[in-house]
Every structure is written in structure tokens, then in C-alpha cells.
Amino acid sequence: MQQTSLTVIAKRLGREYDIPAAIVLGVIQVESAGNEWATRFERHYRWCWDVRAGKPFTASAAAARRTDAPDGFHGTNDAHGGYYSSADTEWNQQKTSWGPMQIMGAVAREHGYDGPLPRLCDPLIGIDYGCRHLARLRDRFIDRHGWAGVLDAYNDGTARIERPHDYPHKVAATSPGAEAEIFPKARGAS
């Protein structure tokens, strides 16, 4: 997909979810450099989603390192999005980040996505679910931590910026607009 198409999609979905376009575009740049087919398997990721029970499924650290699904983790059935996925396939795909915003399969499931996880590489789907997740994190962290905390939570699950050049700084470096949204006081002080 051409970068202009990604930009159009990102701006539209940013407006829909009330997220500054510069932030959505910055996340896309940092996560995938605009590559809609970007994927990354994260073997140690353990915070998955039980699609049958509709609730979180957290594996032990040892179980998370395995590529076969732990006991009690289920795949999808035909009633779930109209397709079937074995427990092992679902386990590994939930532990994979997909598409332009590198949304984790488990996070998309948590937000109600019930289709085949590789479809998150479709920018319309992947950016939508990435923005849904950013919007939820914004609602949780913006008042206390600003966009920097929201972005840090998007990247690592916490709103704590642990290092001077943590994830929010990478997103801010993608454009002056992103920097102004993420660090408004720092920009105004210069």
C-alpha cells in the first residue's frame, strides 16, 4: 500500500477515535515504517485472550515460552468469526504483533476482533484496532501521564517512562507535530 493511503487511513481513524493524526502516524512509523505486512512473534508474551470465555488468559513465564498452547487455552471454532483456528495456532498468533501499528493479536481479541489474526495486516483493520487500543489507554492514562504515558503503555503495558529515550521519544522524533502533542511543555520552553 502506498504511504499516502496509510496516511489517509491513519488520519480518518485518528479523528474517529480522537487521537492526533501525528501520534497515529508516528506509531506507524516507529512500529513498522509503514509496512502493512510487518509481523513479529514475541515468544515470551504471556498476556493472551481466551476467546471462548471472553476474558484474559495469563500464562506462566515457562508456559509462555512454549509454542504449543498451555492447558486451558482454546482455539476458535466456526461460530467465532466464521473460521476455525487450533489452540496452538491461536496461541502463537495472539503472541504476534501485526500490521502497520503492530497490534498484538491478543490485544485485538481483547478489543473484540473475531476474524483471522493475519487480517490485522490490512491497514483498515489493523490501524482501527491500534487506534481502539490507543483510545482505551488514553482514557486511562492521559490525565495523569499525558500522551507520553499513553504511548509508553501502548508499547510496554505501563505508563512509566523508564529511560530518557523510551518509546514516546521515538514516536515524538517522527515529526514536529508528534513532538508537540507528546511533549507540549518541552516544545514550548525552547
Q: Percent of the chain having pLDDT more than 70? A: 89
Domain regions of the chain by residue span: 3-39+120-189, 43-94
**pTM attached to this predicted model:** 0.91
Q: What pLDDT digit, counting tens, does each position of 141-153 carry?
A: 999 999 999 999 9
User: Residues 121, 113: contact at Cβ < 8 Å?
Assistant: no
Q: What pLDDT digit, counting tens, does each position of 76-93 carry?
A: 875 656 667 889 999 999
Please state the rounded mean pLDDT for residues 40-54: 93
